[in-house]
Structure 1
Amino acid sequence: MLLTIDIGNTTIALGAFEGERLAFVRRLPSDRDMDAGACARRLLEQLALENAGPQDLEGAVLCSVVPALTAVVNRAVEQLTGRTPLVVARPEDAGLRIGNYDQSNLGMDRVVDCAAALARWKPPLAVFDMGTATTLSVLDEAGVFQGGMILPGLRLSVDALSARAAQLPPISFEPPAGLIGTDTVSCMQYGALYGAAATVEGIAARLEEQLGSALTVVLTGGLGRHILPLLRRPVEYEPQLQLLGLRAIYLHAQNKQ
């Protein structure tokens, strides 16, 4: 069993693969106060909930956008398995070619997204990852990463709106009953969801104008499912793109040895 670990700003996603099959996905909060011992215990608890244990793990690979947790999770996996996990720390680790972009501040989550997307779809590609932040990663016809955008995430945006406006309540994301909200809550819900959908559609259309060709839009991230039904253009939706990418990178590294 291969353990893939995606350390995000809000959650740590754990995906276990048995061959090509994603056997299970579990999540932990991205607790920046935990040490390696506490992390190891939490990992062990999550594995036990799936009737699995350290003895079932033949390898592990991780990527992180939270530097404070990278070493912690790395040591925790070593404590549990006695093996050092593969850490995706550079675009080269994923075999990703970079264009004119400052790699010193390129998040490895975007690198993994791109590697996974290239393994499944023909470029050019626009990969939208809707998590705590919404990231856009653009790959040209040659599969070279050109850059993209970083936007406030869907949840972050509405929480900030509720926090800064006294009369606006916290909201949940329910499927819209229409296009026009008829009270404050539905106005906020529809504004957030349709606004996010229009952002994906509008940016993708402008990218196609700039690139001079049609592109494939890939949607992933925990919040992507909320806007998927609202999109008016075809997209490829893969909620576990990060975990699939980590598995592909691990296998690529194993084959190079």
Structure 2
Amino acid sequence: MDLLLDVGNTRLKWGLHDGVGWQGQGAVLLSALDGFRDVLAGLGPIQGMLGANVAGATVGGRLGAMLEACALRSAWIQPLAEGYGVVNRYVEPARLGADRWAALVGARALHDGGALVVTSGTATTADVLDAAGVFQGGVILPGLDLMRLSLARDTAQLPYSDGRFVTAPRRTADAIVSGCLQAQLGAIERMFRLVGGEPGAVCLLNGGAAATLAPHLECPVRVVDNLVLEGLARMRVVA
């Protein structure tokens, strides 16, 4: 059994994979990272670990110590110029985020056509993966909640309040929610145009805001849980 870790900006997501399928998944807030010790204690025998860490060296070190206490060696991926069916066209391939690289590998394992690979978390990323498995590039923008928080923090009269999505809002709370959501949808749909002409092209959408975004997207969309973990599982199987 392998332990796979997706260490993001806000949460650590974990999965147990036996080489065929998932035997368990879960998440822990980084603000409560010490609670992961209890998770590890209840997982049972683990053969190896592989993870993607974008939270920084301090978090990585804390996790390494927890894993070492369980007789596990921490192994963190680095993006490659090519591997696992994906060609990385980033100007400096090693500077692509480890989470984005793993999500691209996961997307390629799940879908052999063109795809826009979207992760909607603290930040939203939208990466173009063509039908040949070539990552052509992508964008990063503030996530849905971060957009709303920035308005509340940096403006005097636009509070972080509950609103709803409306096509033509007539209340401030609705205008904020609708504007932030439209910004996300517009960026995703514009990026999808870069791959939408390929047969079978789809937006592979994952992340905390996926359920909010998916019903409003005007492009083919497939919601996939934990694309980063799917990519890590692929890497372990191939290795």
- TM-score, length of structure 1 as denominator length: 0.81
- Once the two structures are superposed, the pairs formed by residues 188-199 of structure 1 within 5 Å of their partners are 188-199=176-187
1:61 to 33, 50, 65: 50
Question: Corresponding residue for 2:15?
Answer: 15
Structure 1 CA distance, aligned partners of 2:121 and 2:28? Answer: 14
Structure 1 CA distance, aligned partners of 2:113 and 2:147? Answer: 30
Question: Corresponding residue for 2:26?
Answer: 25
2:148 paired with 1:162: no
- The answer to whether the 8 A contact 1:116-1:245 is kept is yes
Residues 145-194 of structure 1 show CA distances to partners (whole Å, capped at 9, x for unaligned) of: 2221111111111111111111111135x663x42223111111111123
Structure 2 CA distance, aligned partners of 1:246 and 1:30? Answer: 24
Structure 1 CA distance, aligned partners of 2:22 and 2:91? Answer: 34
2:118 to 128, 136, 142: 128
Question: Corresponding residue for 1:113?
Answer: 103
Q: Decide which structure has greater helix share.
A: 1
**2:50 is matched by which residue type in structure 1?**
V
Gaps of 5+ in 2: none
Offset of residue 76 of structure 1: 2.0
2:172 to 177, 184, 189: 184
> Residues 13 and 208 (structure 1 numbering): CA distance in 2 closer, same or farther, change over 3 Å?
closer
Q: Name the structure, 1 or 2, with higher relative contact order (CA <8 Å, separation 6+).
A: 2
- The answer to whether the 8 A contact 2:129-2:195 is kept is no
Question: Corresponding residue for 2:204?
Answer: 218
Offset of residue 230 of structure 1: 1.0
1:248 to 213, 234, 239: 234
> Residues 213 and 67 (structure 1 numbering): CA distance in 2 closer, same or farther, change over 3 Å?
same
> Residues 133 and 100 (structure 1 numbering): CA distance in 2 closer, same or farther, change over 3 Å?
closer
- Once the two structures are superposed, the pairs formed by residues 78-157 of structure 1 within 5 Å of their partners are 78-80=68-70, 82-91=71-80, 95=84, 96-99=86-89, 101-157=91-147
> Residues 175 and 122 (structure 1 numbering): CA distance in 2 closer, same or farther, change over 3 Å?
farther
SS at match of 1:60: strand
> Residues 237 and 22 (structure 1 numbering): CA distance in 2 closer, same or farther, change over 3 Å?
farther
Offset of residue 216 of structure 1: 2.2
Structure 2 CA distance, aligned partners of 1:113 and 1:102? Answer: 18
- The answer to whether the 8 A contact 1:17-1:23 is kept is yes
- TM-score, length of structure 2 as denominator length: 0.87
- The answer to whether the 8 A contact 2:8-2:54 is kept is yes
Structure 1 CA distance, aligned partners of 2:216 and 2:205? Answer: 13
> Residues 222 and 100 (structure 1 numbering): CA distance in 2 closer, same or farther, change over 3 Å?
closer
Please list every run of at least 4 consecutive aligned residues from structure 1 whose deviation after the TM superposition is greater than 4 angstroms: none
Structure 2 CA distance, aligned partners of 1:226 and 1:251? Answer: 32
Structure 2 CA distance, aligned partners of 1:157 and 1:94? Answer: 34
1:46 to 39, 56, 62: 39
Structure 2 CA distance, aligned partners of 1:101 and 1:226? Answer: 33
**1:145 is matched by which residue type in structure 2?**
F
Structure 1 CA distance, aligned partners of 2:79 and 2:90? Answer: 16
Gaps of 5+ in 1: 32-38
> Residues 71 and 251 (structure 1 numbering): CA distance in 2 closer, same or farther, change over 3 Å?
farther
Offset of residue 83 of structure 1: 2.2
User: How many percent identity over aligned positions?
Assistant: 28
SS at match of 1:87: coil
Root mean square deviation of aligned Cα: 2.4
Offset of residue 128 of structure 1: 1.1
> Residues 70 and 22 (structure 1 numbering): CA distance in 2 closer, same or farther, change over 3 Å?
same
